[in-house]
Amino acid sequence: MTDIAKGYWVVHNTVFDAVEFENYRAAAGPALAAYSPKVLAMGGQFEQAEGSGRDATVVIEFESYAAAVECYHSEAYQTAIALRKDIAAFDFVILEGVLPA
């Protein structure tokens, strides 16, 4: 067992152009694959219990917080981000999965 806390991407997004968004997905896939993440949730039914929301939520787990941050800032993922600039809106949090003692 490891003491290293997992890292998570928690993303809320709205896509304005589904056809063009496929270019982002095609670039993002390999960028993420380099870090072997695990997709925990993508889309599906949800209730916006409080605050404002977006159309979809994605939760991705990484082996560590450092890996989650590194993946986001990688050249490959930054290239993917540029492809979604004008076709989607993202609220993006990188979270360290620390549980209270």
Residue 80 lies inside a defined structural domain of this protein: yes
| The pair of three-digit structure tokens given for residue 3, joined into one six-digit string | 């003491």
- Is 28 among the domain residues? yes
Report the domain count for the chain: 1
In a domain, 1, yes or no: no
Q: Please give the residue range of the domain that contains residue 15.
A: 7-41+61-96
Burial of 39 (0-12, 13-18, 19+ CB in 10 A): exposed
CATH number (domain holding residue 92):
3.30.70.100
- pLDDT tens string 69-93: 999 999 999 999 999 999 999 999 9
Is residue 1 scored above 60 in pLDDT?
Answer: no
Whole-model pTM: value is 0.90
Q: Is the pLDDT of residue 2 over 80?
A: no
- Give me the pLDDT at residue 44, please: 85
Which residues pair with residue 96 across a beta bridge?
A: 7
Structure tokens at 5: 């806390």
Q: What is the mean pLDDT of residues 50-70?
A: 94
> Do the Cβ atoms of 88 and 24 come closer than 8 Å?
yes
Residue 5, amino acid:
A
Q: What is the mean pLDDT of residues 53-82?
A: 96
Average pLDDT over the chain reads: 93
Both ends of the chain: CA-CA distance in Å?
17
